[in-house]
Amino acid sequence: MNDGEFVKEIAAKDEAFSQWYIDVVKKADLADYTMVKGCMVIKPYGYALWENMQQCLDQKIKATGHKNAYFPLFIPESLLKKEAEHVEGFAPEVAWVTHGGDQKLEERLAVRPTSEAIIGSLYSKWVHSWRDLPILINQWANIVRWEKVTRPFLRTTEFLWQEGHTAHKNQEEAEEETLKILAVYKEYIERDLAIPVLAGKKSSNEKFAGAMHTYTLEALMGDGKILQAGTSHNLGQNFAKAFDIRFLDENQEEQYAWTTSWGTSTRLVGGIIMVHGDERGLKLPPKVAPVQVVIVPILFDKTKQEVLKKAQELKTRLSEKFRVELDDRDAYTPGWKFNEWEMKGVPIRLEIGPRDLAQQQVVAVRRDKGNKITVMENELISTVEKWMGDIQNNLYMQARTRLEENIRFADHYEQFKEIIEEKRGFVKAYWCGCEECENQIKKETKATIRCLAMENNKEKGKCIYCGKESMSPVYFGRAY
């Protein structure tokens, strides 16, 4: 196989986006299929990316006063059934444990599809007085939902996530928490993952099963479809009533607590691939890239030792500030290595050969630009440092521009359908608020309400479907 074929093995992004996605997941060595239906293995490169993502978000979650804990994987069936809407939403997706060893269990156990029920049962035990509130807990955990159609990272039977669960003494605090977390998520997704998002409330149809209301962040993918990137739910008193979370308030009166929950998952790895990737593979934001700088030495027999020595020296120096890999494999040509590291989305590649050595320079290539630039050795660290910021910013700005170009307003249904079919992206349109219109639009166009517009809008409009007067513009799109 010659050097170029490494890249040719992936499908063309513009022509076959879904296949391109799968190809990149495999070729960049992020994940693999397993013999367990719908379950993937996250391979070391993909997991290192996830670990960096976790670290970015975990810091933000802790900085806002939340603490991590760990709750059981299993939820007894009777407990899951306590909140009616909740069980209705999740029951079809639950994996059930029925036997422990040879013994049939007295009660089936759900493998957690989300943890409101089990956590609610414990908060009920822990909360007695207003002094016990708020409870601000997050958990990193695996989740199982029996999915019919799966795709690596985007929808898998088992996935990894974090789920926050908080309890408060009144409605205002719960709402404040729900919005605070939405802001934390927005900062994480936009600044660390370089993915711009639209923020807004979900329609009742699309909200979390059992929630009072749900806020969401919605991101535009490379094929014009929309990915739900994170959600934050104000659960009102629904779960407190179902799971009996009561406390004595300052006036010694008994109250039900107000709870929230919120989550983001490994599906955001899919988001990173689909927002930033190109025809040569992954393109990773520096903040979360497992390898930020790769050094590829250009080796000839005569000068091999000196060049390797210098490459090693550069690696040591750069490693003080960055995540660096030296690719000194003998079995591959430099060209092959260039392709492979581009496929893996490494932000900066440094090449060093005998001529560079002589002139105390290296050749540097940014993954987001592609052109070769000569950098003097004594300016290398400051250049790499500057580029880290530039690349992070550039990836975000490119995606931001694409997002803005792909929000289109429609004021009649034919136009709406045409945009959804031909251009995709977000369609902003008025909606009367009734579920029937929402369902009909979904049936006819596969577009769903991704979120209600958050910005103040004093102009009235007409529902894109039924024509009734409306104060509520919303964003539609075809979702993952």
Contacting positions for a copy of itself (CB under 8 A): 32, 34-36, 39-44, 46-48, 50-51, 67-76, 79, 91-103, 108-109, 111, 118, 121-122, 125-126, 131, 137, 141-142, 144, 146, 158, 160, 331
Give 93 or 377: the residue with its C-beta nearer to a copy of itself. Answer: 93
**Least distance from a copy of itself to the Cβ atom of residue 121, Å:** 6
Give 169 or 310: the residue with its C-beta nearer to a copy of itself. Answer: 169
Is 313 in a helix, a strand, or coil? Answer: helix
Q: Do residues 170 and 116 lie in contact, with contact meaning Cβ atoms separated by under 8 Å?
A: no
Give 91 or 179: the residue with its C-beta nearer to a copy of itself. Answer: 91
Give 129 or 359: the residue with its C-beta nearer to a copy of itself. Answer: 129
**Least distance from a copy of itself to the Cβ atom of residue 129, Å:** 11
**Least distance from a copy of itself to the Cβ atom of residue 67, Å:** 4
Q: 322: which 2 tokens?
A: 């960055």
**Least distance from a copy of itself to the Cβ atom of residue 119, Å:** 8
Compute how many other C-beta atoms are within 10 angstroms of the C-beta atom of residue 73.
16
Q: Do residues 457 and 426 lie in contact, with contact meaning Cβ atoms separated by under 8 Å?
A: no
Q: 124: which 2 tokens?
A: 């009920």
CA dist., res. 425 & res. 472, Å (int): 19
Enumerate the β-bridge partners of residue 55: none
Measuring CA to CA, how many Å separate 280 from each of 6, 28, 157, 455? 9, 10, 29, 38
**Least distance from a copy of itself to the Cβ atom of residue 383, Å:** 28
**Least distance from a copy of itself to the Cβ atom of residue 416, Å:** 34
Phi, psi of 16, deg, nearest 5: -140, 75
Measuring CA to CA, how many Å separate 480 from each of 41, 52, 154, 221, 340? 21, 24, 8, 9, 28
8-state DSSP, 62: H
Give 46 or 210: the residue with its C-beta nearer to a copy of itself. Answer: 46
CA dist., res. 105 & res. 97, Å (int): 8
Give 129 or 360: the residue with its C-beta nearer to a copy of itself. Answer: 129
Enumerate the β-bridge partners of residue 250: none
**Least distance from a copy of itself to the Cβ atom of residue 160, Å:** 7
Enumerate the β-bridge partners of residue 281: 278
Give 43 or 366: the residue with its C-beta nearer to a copy of itself. Answer: 43
Q: 328: which 2 tokens?
A: 């000194």
Contacts of 359 (CB under 8 A, 6+ apart): none
**Least distance from a copy of itself to the Cβ atom of residue 50, Å:** 8
Give 96 or 382: the residue with its C-beta nearer to a copy of itself. Answer: 96
Give 156 or 216: the residue with its C-beta nearer to a copy of itself. Answer: 156
CA dist., res. 340 & res. 334, Å (int): 10
DSSP labels, 231-249: EEEE-TTHHHHHHT-EEE-
**Least distance from a copy of itself to the Cβ atom of residue 127, Å:** 13
- Best CA proximity match to 406, nearest among 186, 227, 225: 225
**Least distance from a copy of itself to the Cβ atom of residue 290, Å:** 9
Q: Do residues 174 and 259 lie in contact, with contact meaning Cβ atoms separated by under 8 Å?
A: yes
CA dist., res. 163 & res. 180, Å (int): 15
Give 41 or 84: the residue with its C-beta nearer to a copy of itself. Answer: 41
Residue the block writes with tokens 């307003």: 409
